[in-house]
Amino acid sequence: MTFKYFLVAVLIGFIFYLLLLPRVGYLRKGVIFAVVLTMLVFAIRPDWSTSVADAVGISRGADLLFYLSHLTLFFVAFVYFVKFKEMEVRFTKLVRQLALENARRDAGH
Amino acid sequence: MQSEAFRKVLAETFVVVPAYNEGRVIGEVITGLSSAFPNIVVVNDGSSDDTAAVLKGLPVIVVKHPVNLGQGASLQTGITFALERGANYIVTFDADGQHRPEDALSALRMLGDGQCDVVCGSRFLGTTSNMPRTRKIILKTVVGLANLTAGTKMTDAHNGLRALSRKAASCLAISQSGMAHASEIMSQLRLHKMDIREVPVQINYTEYSLAKGQSSLNSINILVDLVIGRFLK
């Protein structure tokens, strides 16, 4: 039971942190809020996860949470990979501009 | 073509050579090129070896990336610089000694005739020495995939020897810094309806170039880069 209270406290803390976060779009905030809220509900009422699992054709609630957490992690990893690639493109443009400016200066332009 | 006319083409041509840690061979490659081409731009892609020192005594313009970005990024930097300097024709040429200057001249001759916008080197139309069997299979697979994604009918992909008209080079905005740039270049040229031809070239697979070249497994990374690249557009 102690871990359950700890988990609930952490999740509630995260929801407050999320609400206070500046510069995060409403859509993104909403998606994260929904995921954390679902985790919170299942932490308080684990038997509900079994009912949901049963409804979607998975026998155990624990299995449902296992699959969902994998999907969530995969999604988060993909989003950050794309973000990283975007940063790489910006970095490349910056380095190119620097290289071209130096070359122009060396060539006396 | 009259040799006087071709001399004019040569004077308006810039050869772009992306180089990363090629100190061992870059001197020989540039010496071979400079006997035929008056304008050579070497993009030193953040090399940590003596590439910069070797280039100092050679008749080339050096554009230096402060950090290593990859061959695709180097090509775009070199092409942008060449266009700024008024190049009407641009030849891309690998720095590892795989290509022959006479093949670059053949490609340029075809381009200079004005029959097309781009001429790509094809190792499968020419003779290739010491190409490992696995590399041949992988390259053929990559060609198939590249044709599928770019909508082209090429016999070779990922061949660094190309000749581009100013119009074709101006169409390029290479965002793939790594090795996926070759497929991206073909996609962009195709998108802008450029007339692309191929010329037979000979590739010399030396121990050095094979060690420097990309590993066969890298073809998977190229595929991933191309897929991710589509999401970023």
How confident is residue B200, by pLDDT bands cut at 50, 70 and 90?
Answer: very high
3-state helix, strand, coil in chain B (%, to 5): 45, 15, 35
B47 confidence band (pLDDT: 50, 70, 90): very high
- Model pLDDT, residue B141: 77
Q: Do A82 and B43 touch (CB under 8 A)?
A: no
The predicted structure's pLDDT at residue B110: 92
- CATH architecture under which domain B3-232 falls: Alpha-Beta Complex (3.90)
pLDDT at A3: 87
What is the reported pLDDT for A59?
83
- What is the rounded average pLDDT of the residues A42-46? 89
Q: Which of A2-6, B21-25, B58-62 has the lowest mean pLDDT?
A: A2-6
In chain A, what percentage of residues exceed pLDDT 90?
43
pLDDT > 70 in chain B, percent: 85
Task: Confirm if A60 and A53 have CB atoms less than 8 A apart.
Answer: yes
**Chain B residues whose beta carbon lies within 8 Å of the beta carbon of residue A94:** none
Using an 8 Å Cβ cutoff, are B45 and B71 in contact? yes
Residue B199, both tokens = 């010329």
Closest CA to B161 of B135, B132, B139, B182: B182
What is the pLDDT at residue B143?
A: 77
| Most confident listed range (A46-50, A84-88, B30-34) | B30-34
pLDDT attached to residue B75: 97
Q: Residue range B126-143: average pLDDT?
A: 71
pLDDT averaged over chain B? 87
In this prediction, residues A20-36 reach a mean pLDDT of 83
* Structure token digits, residue B186: 């073909």
Does residue B8 carry a pLDDT above 90? yes
pLDDT tens figures, B96-118: 999 999 999 999 999 988 889 99
Instruction: Measure CB to CB from residue B81 to each of A86, A88, A100 and give the nearest one.
Output: A100
Please report the pLDDT score of residue B132 as a whole number.
72
Maximum Cα interatomic distance, chain A, rounded to a whole number of Å = 75
Task: Enter the tokens of residue A91.
Answer: 């970095």
Nearest CA of chain B to the CA of A20: how many Å? 30
User: CA-to-CA distance for A26 and A9, rounded, in angstroms?
Assistant: 24
Report the pLDDT value the prediction gives residue B56, as an integer from 0 to 100. Answer: 93
Q: Is A107 an 8 Å CB contact of chain B?
A: yes
**Minimal C-alpha gap between A94 and chain B (Å):** 10
Interchain contact, B81 vs A98, CB within 8 Å: no
Closest Cβ opposite residue B77 in set A82, A99, A107: A99
The amino acid present at B86, given as its one-letter code, is G
Residue A89 · residue B175 · CB < 8 Å: yes
Distance to chain A for B123, nearest Cα, Å? 30
User: Alpha-carbon dihedral of residues B77, B79, B82, B87, nearest 10 degrees?
Assistant: -170
Task: Work out the pLDDT band at B189, boundaries 50, 70, 90.
Answer: very high
What residues of chain A, 82 to 101, have a C-beta less than 8 Å from chain B?
Answer: 82, 85-86, 88-89, 92, 95-96, 98-100
C-alpha B213/C-alpha B205 separation (Å) is 10
Tell me how far apart the alpha carbons of residues B219 and A104 are, in angstroms, rounded to a whole number: 36
Six token digits for residue A57 = 């054709």
| Min distance B77 CA to chain A CA atoms (Å) | 6
pLDDT at B2 over 60: no
CA–CA gap between residue B118 and residue B195 (Å, rounded): 6
Nearest alpha carbon to residue B115 among B197, B192, B191, B189: B197
**Residue located via tokens 């060609």:** B143
Residue identified by tokens 């006997």 is B35
Lowest mean pLDDT among B7-16, B118-127, B161-170: B118-127
pLDDT at B23 exceeding the cut of 90:
yes
Between chains, do B80 and A98 touch, taking CB under 8 Å as contact?
no
Q: Do B63 and A100 touch (CB under 8 A)?
A: yes
DSSP assignments along B204-223, one per residue: E--HHHHHHSPPTTHHHHHH
Is A89 within 8 Å of B175 when comparing Cβ atoms? Answer: yes
| Chain B residues interacting with chain A (CB cutoff of 8 angstroms) | 43, 61-67, 69, 73, 76-77, 80-81, 84-85, 175, 177, 228-229, 231-232
Query: Taking CB atoms and an 8 Å cutoff, what residues of chain A touch B73?
Result: 92, 95-96
Inter-CA distances, B56 with B12, B77, B92, B218, Å: 23, 19, 21, 33
Q: B122 or B179: whose pLDDT is higher? A: B122
| pLDDT(B142) > 80 | no
Name the residue facing B231 among A82, A99, A102 (closest C-beta): A82
Q: Using CA atoms in the order A61, A63, A65, A66, what is the torsion angle rounded to 10 degrees?
A: 160
User: What percent of chain A is modeled with pLDDT above 70?
Assistant: 98
Encoded tokens for B101: 């200057």
Residue B161 has pLDDT above 90, yes or no: yes
Residues of chain A with Cβ-Cβ distance to B76 below 8 Å are 96
- Burial of residue A32 (CB within 10 Å: 0-12, 13-18, 19+) is middle
Q: Phi/psi zone of residue B195: left (φ > 0), alpha (ψ -120 to 50 degrees), beta? A: beta
The rounded distance, in Å, linking the Cα atoms of B19 and B50 is 11
pLDDT tens per residue across span A62-88 = 899 899 999 999 999 998 999 998 999
User: What pLDDT does A46 receive?
Assistant: 87
Residue B177 above 80 pLDDT? no
Distance from CA of B173 to the nearest CA of A (A): 11
Beta bridge partners of B41: B16, B61
Q: How confident is the model at residue B18 (pLDDT cuts 50, 70, 90)?
A: very high
Give the closest of A85, A100, A102 to B80, CB-based: A100
Per-residue confidence at B89, pLDDT binned at 50, 70, 90? very high
